[in-house]
Amino acid sequence: MDTATQSPASEGLLSRLPGDPRQRQILVAVALSLLIFALLLGGYLMLRPNYIVLFRGLKPLDAAAVVKELEKEKIPYRYDEAANAILVPEGESKAARIKLGSADLRLQDVVGLELFKDSDLGLTEFAQKVNYQRALQGEVARTLMSLEEVDMARVHLTLPESSIFRRDQVKPKASVTIFPKGSAPLGEDSIRGIQKLVAASVPGMAPGDVIVLDQRGAAATADEIGEVSDPKFALKQAIERSYEKKISEQLARVLRETGATVSVNAEINFDQVQTTRETGVAPAAEATPRALPPLPAVAGAAAAPGAADPLPPLPASAAAPAAPVRTNRVLEQIVSAPGTVRRLSVAIVLEREQPAEVVEKVQAVVAASAGIDGKRGDVVSIVVRDPALPVAAMAAPVAALPALATPRAQPAAPAAAISAAFAAKDAALLGAAGALLLVGGVAWRALRRRGPAPRRLSDHERDQFAARLKRLLHDQGDAHVRP
């Protein structure tokens, strides 16, 4: 009786896998490939360097210039399109900054004073002036673009020719176009600071000669935002604000919880007066010279015989010469400087009704703080606000106005956030590799737990099994046929 042969327990792992030998070989090859890939991926992610931000917020042209220099220096880099940032390995970041700093890159397509680095001595005077104007415009633009709120700036200067033969000299002027970061416009303080910065960079330029435009082409000059270039009016405003601040501080101590608004109007005398004063001084009395007495005659003296008569005697007295008349005078020149206060008018609006003694105290404090002088016509007016009127209808002084909130542009993505994004990607790849290893291990363990697959019968064994089956069926048929 034939029995089916079974594989021994020591048969290889391939004989335990389902399917034909070719399928088993393919399955083993795929499993080994996944295992090798997971090991290589994990090793790469563990051993690769950490990248940090070198530059961010770059324009495409600036990024191309930086990348070209990094490739020239053979420094590996990455480019983050979301933040427009260039990242380099942490260990090579300092060397990359030093090399890029010495490479003389023209970032943001602005030319500065480096234009004169390789200048030709044969340039004409006109070419030298044009190069100087370009360099000055570029340096001012670079300074403006270094501000936090400014993304890009363009500066155009008008530098007139100076000559000693011209009576009326033309002042230099400037126009600045600002592209702020984000959609928020620049604040008043920022625009005023830009005007003063540009004016201080060009000799002979005043802040009022600088026109500032935004990305929409809207002008924001000094006159529109409350800053005037007239020094007389600026002095008047400064004096009035100084008085208002001083009086407000004193009233806050007197009234305490009760509020009050202060407004001061100062009349300033800008006339320069020169006074010449001449006074005479009487001369001091001088002593009259006295005549000398005549010499006495010598007794017994006689003329020699035959001698001529002696000289005639001197007169008894001689008239003294007239003394010269002297006139003394004092000449004084007094020059009064302009800018003196001619008259002060102080208006105080109290928020609540106050007793008479409190009002008198307020008036005395204001008069002493502002130096009120009745001889020059100074006026102090104290009134109480009408409760029926809205607060917006009451005039408030300049010092009491709240500071305007300047909208600021959204800051750019920090370097730590960009590095964290790359770290998150690395963590995801590591997680995927771990999942692949876990799935492969589970599948391998399941295959090992399975029993040995049934062995296929050979042709000879199948013939023997068929013969036995026929014989068994024949025997059963004979048993049923017998009576």
Q: What confidence score (pLDDT) does residue 107 get?
A: 63
Let me know if residue 44 belongs to a domain. no
pLDDT digits over 31-65, tens only? 888 889 888 888 777 777 788 888 777 777 778 88
Q: Which of 199, 222, 245 is the C-terminal boundary of a domain?
A: 222
Let me know if residue 365 belongs to a domain. yes
Q: CA triplet 131, 137, 138: central angle to 5 degrees?
A: 90
Let me know if residue 252 belongs to a domain. yes
Which domain CATH number covers 238? Answer: 3.30.300.20
Range of the domain at 250: 233-272+337-384
| Whether residues 57 and 198 fall in one domain | no
> Residue 12: is its pLDDT beyond 70?
no
| Whether residues 207 and 86 fall in one domain | no
> What distance in Å separates the CA atoms of residue 278 and residue 329, rounded to the nearest whole number?
7
Residue 176's H or E segment, with its range, is strand 173-180
Q: What confidence score (pLDDT) does residue 347 get?
A: 92
| Whether residues 237 and 380 fall in one domain | yes
| Whether residues 194 and 125 fall in one domain | yes
Rounded mean pLDDT, 444-463:
69
Q: What is the DSSP letter of 261?
A: E
Of residues 213 and 46, more confidently modeled: 213
| Whether residues 255 and 356 fall in one domain | yes
Q: 5 pLDDT band (50/70/90 cuts)?
A: very low
Q: Which of 384, 400, 415 is the C-terminal boundary of a domain?
A: 384
Q: In what order do the strands lie in the sheet with 150-158?
A: 150-158, 173-180, 210-213
| Whether residues 212 and 160 fall in one domain | yes
Let me know if residue 139 belongs to a domain. yes
Q: What confidence score (pLDDT) does residue 479 get?
A: 60
Among residues 454, 444, 451, the alpha carbon closest in space to that of 9 is found at 451
Among residues 343, 354, 323, 140, the alpha carbon closest in space to that of 260 is found at 354
Which domain CATH number covers 83? Answer: 3.30.70
> Residue 134: is its pLDDT beyond 70?
yes
Rounded mean pLDDT, 368-382:
89
Residue 193's H or E segment, with its range, is helix 188-201
Q: What confidence score (pLDDT) does residue 395 get?
A: 39
pLDDT digits over 244-253, tens only? 999 988 888 8
pLDDT digits over 307-357, tens only? 555 555 555 554 555 555 555 677 777 777 777 888 999 999 988 888 888
Residue 99's H or E segment, with its range, is helix 93-101
> What distance in Å separates the CA atoms of residue 427 and residue 434, rounded to the nearest whole number?
10
**End-to-end C-alpha distance for the chain, whole angstroms:** 31
Average pLDDT for the chain: 74
> Residue 16: is its pLDDT beyond 70?
no
| Whether residues 129 and 197 fall in one domain | yes
| Whether residues 253 and 366 fall in one domain | yes
> Residue 413: is its pLDDT beyond 60?
no
> Residue 280: is its pLDDT beyond 80?
no
> What distance in Å separates the CA atoms of residue 186 and residue 180, rounded to the nearest whole number?
7
Q: CA triplet 275, 278, 281: central angle to 5 degrees?
A: 155
| Whether residues 90 and 126 fall in one domain | no
**Tokens (6 digits) for 213:** 């435009």
Q: What confidence score (pLDDT) does residue 208 get?
A: 84
Cβ neighbours for 468, distance < 8 A, ≥ 6 positions apart: 1, 2
What is this structure's pTM? Answer: 0.42
Q: What is the DSSP string of 295-363?
A: PPPPTT--PPTTPPPPPPPPPS--PPPPPPP--EEEEEEEEEPS-EEEEEEEEEEESS---HHHHHHHH
Let me know if residue 87 belongs to a domain. yes
Q: 264 pLDDT band (50/70/90 cuts)?
A: very high
| Pairing assessment for the beta strands 85-89 and 51-55 based on DSSP bridges | antiparallel
| Whether residues 139 and 194 fall in one domain | yes
> Residue 382: is its pLDDT beyond 80?
yes
Phi, psi of 81 (to 5 degrees): -70, -30
| Whether residues 217 and 238 fall in one domain | no
Of residues 293 and 436, more confidently modeled: 436
> What distance in Å separates the CA atoms of residue 11 and residue 14, rounded to the nearest whole number?
8
| Whether residues 85 and 172 fall in one domain | no
- Domains identified in the chain, total number: 3
DSSP-assigned beta bridge partners for residue 279: 330
Let me know if residue 33 belongs to a domain. no
Q: 299 pLDDT band (50/70/90 cuts)?
A: very low
Helix (H, G, I), strand (E, B) or coil at 333: strand
Q: What confidence score (pLDDT) does residue 131 get?
A: 84
Rounded mean pLDDT, 298-312:
51
Let me know if residue 265 belongs to a domain. yes
> Residue 201: is its pLDDT beyond 60?
yes
pLDDT digits over 77-115, tens only? 888 877 778 888 888 888 888 887 777 666 666 777 777
Let me know if residue 195 belongs to a domain. yes
Q: What confidence score (pLDDT) does residue 60 get?
A: 77
Q: What confidence score (pLDDT) does residue 346 get?
A: 92
